[in-house]
Amino acid sequence: MRHSRRDFIQTLSAPLLAMPFLAMSEKHQKYEGPILRVAIMGLGNYGTRVAEAMKSCKKAKLVGVISGTPSKIKSWQAKYQIPEKNCYNYQDFDKIRDNPDIDAVYVITPNALHRDQVIRVAKAGKHVICEKPMSVNAADAQQMVDACKRAKVKLLVGYRMHFEPKTLEIIRMRKAGEFGKVLFFQGLSGFQIGDPTQWRLKKELSGGGAMMDIGIYSVNGSRYMIGEDPVWVTAQEVKTNKEKFREGIDETITFQLGFPGGAVASCLSTYTMNNLDRFFLNGEKGYAEMQPSTGYGPILGHTHKGELVYPHVAHQTFQMDEMAGIILEGKEPIVPVDGGEGLKDMKIIDAIYKAVQTGKKESVYL
């Protein structure tokens, strides 16, 4: 059995319940639609994970690299059959404008570099996928959104969870009213960070500590789980190790978000507790619980109706295929993953940092 492109798109729009199973049964079918040709900027750990995951993509393909390390470029060329003409460094990547064989660049570099790099990619006329956090503050994120709009390119943020089937099933249930009025969300996001010399612990590269890196999952999660945007935040910081976590690098922050419908979110962001990856959504009629909720491995979850039994999908594979659909086919994702959404999270994080400083309830305008 073969699908026309139209059939294929319709298949992908089929009810969520069927999605992962269809994806599996389609594995051995030939895909004939358009392919998103991607260059990865930043060949570190996460870049490598994305490259490996993309081997299984049907609609996206790794075709180029941008790196400051020639030896890395060489090894990636060999590993992923990347032609010399699709290799760039941080000085010359504006020339990607003249390369018709690259559609989009996935920026996977330290947070503080995202703004300028995304803007340069946009100016070069290529679509941009930017790893989270989108930037180090809302002002930068706004510039990025504006630049991509001006350049008429798409800007997407690498939030994997918006494509994860168990997450999407909870969102479907919430929209269908199966939890009743949603009243509470709890997100616990944390891990024990290792090497104290890594860029994530340098303010000038990371823009912040655990909140930028892992707490952002609870920030973003509170919005897609509750289905609203918060109107106020409060936050409290605790620091037990001032040598490892210096000025501007948050170790542990508890934060609360108030939503217009009366729901409240109570969250934890930390670099000192391992394997903290829990979401809990509570409504008047039911609840959902996920643990792990945002990790790279299988997401496990249950609701008042029972266990969520969708098979695991490799998040990065799924994300890149779905983003190809968004960029090339104008597909509308169930939860938005564009720059505007990333900007909202940066505004919330700005407000959380401000609330830590002022000790007061800070309004958020999204």
- Binding residues vs a copy of itself (CB under 8 A): 181, 183-184, 186, 188, 192, 234, 236, 238-240, 252, 254, 256, 258, 262-264, 266, 268, 270, 272-274, 276, 282, 284, 359-361
Tell me how far, at minimum, the Cβ of 194 lies from a copy of itself, in Å. 14
Does residue 97 contact residue 64 with C-beta atoms inside 8 Å? no
Which is nearer to a copy of itself, 49 or 244 (by Cβ)? 244
Distance CA 61, CA 217 (A): 27
Task: Determine the length of the chain.
Answer: 366
Instruction: Look at phi and psi of residue 160 and say left if phi exceeds 0, alpha if psi is from -120 to 50, else beta.
Output: alpha
Distance CA 111, CA 282 (A): 33
* Amino acid of residue 232: W
Tell me the two tokens of residue 181.
């009025």
SS3 336: coil
Tell me how far, at minimum, the Cβ of 282 lies from a copy of itself, in Å. 5
Q: Compute CA distances 179 → 165, 184, 218, 228, whole Å.
A: 18, 11, 20, 15
Catalytic residue among 88, 106, 159, 217: 217
Which is nearer to a copy of itself, 17 or 238 (by Cβ)? 238
Tell me how far, at minimum, the Cβ of 361 lies from a copy of itself, in Å. 5
Which is nearer to a copy of itself, 234 or 319 (by Cβ)? 234
Catalytic residue among 58, 126, 132, 154: 132
Does residue 252 contact residue 271 with C-beta atoms inside 8 Å? yes
Which is nearer to a copy of itself, 129 or 211 (by Cβ)? 211
Tell me the two tokens of residue 65.
């690299």
Tell me how far, at minimum, the Cβ of 273 lies from a copy of itself, in Å. 5
Tell me the two tokens of residue 223.
């919005």
Other CB atoms within 10 A of residue 262 CB: 10
Nearest to 9 by CA among 33, 25, 41, 39: 33
Tell me the two tokens of residue 277.
């990856």
Which is nearer to a copy of itself, 131 or 250 (by Cβ)? 250
* Measured distance between the N- and C-terminal CA atoms of the chain, rounded to whole angstroms: 47
Which is nearer to a copy of itself, 264 or 334 (by Cβ)? 264
Tell me how far, at minimum, the Cβ of 236 lies from a copy of itself, in Å. 5
Per the annotation, the verdict on 132 as an active-site residue is yes
Tell me how far, at minimum, the Cβ of 353 lies from a copy of itself, in Å. 16
Query: Could you give the residue numbers annotated as active site?
Result: 132, 217
